[in-house]
Copies of this chain bind each other. A is one copy, B any other.
């Protein structure tokens, strides 16, 4: 009911709506309307009550409320189910557990903060509360484990594109999974999978974006979008755009149009054409980053002219 009241108020954002009209429209008593309005206010909604005029929605709370995320969300898969936490160990862990219990593809798990946020290769991912966007999506693509890199690539493209389109900032991708603005990391991606050799059972796509995070609470080398735009970013709007973009690119993978993703990735990459150093366990390869292949592996040509297809490792771009 509260959801319906908010939707009604949203549709009439410019004017006051009387309690009587709400009560008539939604078929509840005026006392019930009043009670729901009080609840909504407690949840952070700014609702102005003007005697003789009624109610008007003046502000939406800066919370990752499922109702706000799904309001007019234009997707068919991503975010059709939403689980929003104030705090959790890691949204990837929750998503993994839900996926094991047959939760369908597209389910979205968010948290205002993570107590054990993880990055690639068991590293920590700083997840302070206050303006970050930490979420995971359950995916069930019919691909092999070797192709899992495609999901990471399509996610990094989607994020870079939404940042570019929304704020005009030059977001670039560092292979395979980081989004940078200038020299600072804005976003990380952690793709985890449950698979057999023949195919993936499910993938958890985990994304952490520093949206409005205060610079002081971020590690060195990281920045938030707010630092760059100099104003608060609307998290819900950003998330909705991102979910649409992710779905768009995900469908390309499903429809075997990965070549389109590679093309876009090339345009957004800060790695290609540069001299790079790749570390992977005891291996160290230095050379020119040439391209990515049809599995999403980075192709590096070393100084002897040999080509290496690199599916995992730490890449640093040299000056």
Q: Which residues of A contact B (CB under 8 A)?
A: 120-121, 142, 144-146, 148-149, 152, 176, 190-199, 201, 281, 311-313
Contacts and interface: CB of A to CB of B under 8 A. Distances in A.
A195 B193 contact: yes
A198 B280 CA distance: 9
A218 to B, nearest CB: 23
A149 B197 contact: yes
A194 B194 contact: yes
Contacts of A145: 145-146, 148, 193, 195
B195 A190 contact: no
24 contacts: A120-B196, A120-B197, A121-B198, A144-B311, A144-B312, A145-B146, A145-B148, A145-B193, A145-B195, A146-B311, A148-B195, A152-B197, A176-B197, A191-B196, A192-B195, A192-B196, A193-B193, A193-B194, A193-B195, A193-B196, A194-B194, A197-B311, A197-B312, A198-B313
A37 B185 CA distance: 68
A192 B194 CA distance: 7
A198 B144 contact: no
Contact of A196 (B144, B190, B199, B201): B190
B195 A312 contact: no
A136 to B, nearest CB: 13
B197 A148 contact: yes
- 10 smallest A-B Cβ distances: which pairs? A145-B145, A198-B312, A146-B146, A192-B196, A121-B198, A149-B197, A197-B312, A148-B197, A120-B198, A193-B195
A142 B312 CA distance: 12
B199 A142 contact: no
A173 to B, nearest CB: 15
Contacts of A146: 145-146, 311
A144 B196 CA distance: 13
A299 to B, nearest CB: 15
A178 to B, nearest CB: 13
A255 to B, nearest CB: 13
B121 A199 contact: yes
A241 B223 CA distance: 56
A144 B195 CA distance: 12
A148 B199 CA distance: 12
A152 to B, nearest CB: 6
